[in-house]
Amino acid sequence: MLEQWLGGSTIVSAHVHDARILDEGVTTAKVQRRLRDRAVLAVERRGKWLRVPLAPSVKGGKGPALFSHLGMTGKWVLAARPDDEPLRFEKARLDLALPRGRRRSVRYLDPRLFGRFVVPDEDLPIWSALGPDPLVDGIDARALHARLQTRRLAVKPVLLDQAVLAGIGNIYATEALFAARIDPRRPANGVTLAETKRLAKGLDEALALSIARNTEERITYVEEPGAANPFVVYGHEGEPCPRCRRPLAKMVLAGRGTVFCPHCQR
């Protein structure tokens, strides 16, 4: 959606309403100045990061890029009208010019302020350090298995390491480990190649299912009030396991809530 909204446009003005989404010490004025009057060249994504390369201010030069991370509660939305008042939880806005004099306003909402909004000249080191993205690069089960062999930590927190795979978060790690019938607490280096293949398939399928299901223009997070839970085990603790009908358990692993079936995940 962001590609659709920003593609072919020029940022006429940008506003950051809360400096806490910026890097420490960076001012809203500086970021706004860097974004103003820049043409959007593309909208890219790797893992949980969005990257929006922008035109240079002088021809032949190199432009900056807007990097956006949604944290846990961030989202980009299109304002119904370009002149709309700030939306609830709005933390930044981009006002855009399109061909034929049309205007558009895209807003960044983030109640919990865990998102990031950065406009560097060079790619962020964290962007360059991301592992393979399952949707962009696919998952190479052999490579993933080799990577798991280097870690003694429990397999679930290893999956959450963005240098191992880019974009896997708590829900997808939880769902894939259930699909692969692997106990989340098992040391990563004890996971076999056969199990890693099941894990790769579980991740691919969980991601594909979510993308297929999200046909709305506006994303809705499962934690939002009134949102349906489309997941197989995440958020279903205490309910019968879809496979064996015994109750799903929940524990905290490396600080993250983890739902699993103690009977069929070994």
Task: Using the CB atoms, write b or e for 18-40: b if 16+ within 10 Å.
Answer: ebebbeeebebeebbebbeebeb
Task: Using the CB atoms, write b or e for 42-67: b if 16+ within 10 Å.
Answer: ebebbbbbbbbbbbeeeeeeeebbbb
> Which one, 221 or 239, has the nearer CB to DNA?
221
> Which one, 56 or 190, has the nearer CB to DNA?
190
Q: How far is the CB of 158 from DNA (least distance, A)?
A: 8
> Which one, 40 or 158, has the nearer CB to DNA?
158
> Which one, 103 or 152, has the nearer CB to DNA?
152
* Nearest residue to 78 (alpha-carbon basis) of 21, 9, 19, 20: 9
Q: How far is the CB of 116 from DNA (least distance, A)?
A: 8
Q: Which three-class secondary structure string do you get for 103-166?
A: EEEEEEECCCCCCEEECCCCCCHHHHCCCCCCCCCCCCHHHHHHHHCCCCCEHHHHHCCCCCCC
Q: How far is the CB of 57 from DNA (least distance, A)?
A: 28
Q: What number of other Cβ atoms are within 10 A of residue 221's Cβ?
A: 12
Q: How far is the CB of 188 from DNA (least distance, A)?
A: 8
> Which one, 11 or 148, has the nearer CB to DNA?
148
Q: How far is the CB of 257 from DNA (least distance, A)?
A: 3
> Which one, 38 or 91, has the nearer CB to DNA?
91
Residues that bind DNA in the complex, under the rule CB under 7 A: 20, 47-48, 69, 71-72, 89, 111-114, 126, 151-154, 157, 160, 162, 169-172, 210, 219-223, 225-226, 252, 254-257
Q: How far is the CB of 17 from DNA (least distance, A)?
A: 12
Contacts of 77 (CB under 8 A, 6+ apart): 87, 106, 107, 109, 218
Whether 223 contacts 74, CB under 8 Å: no
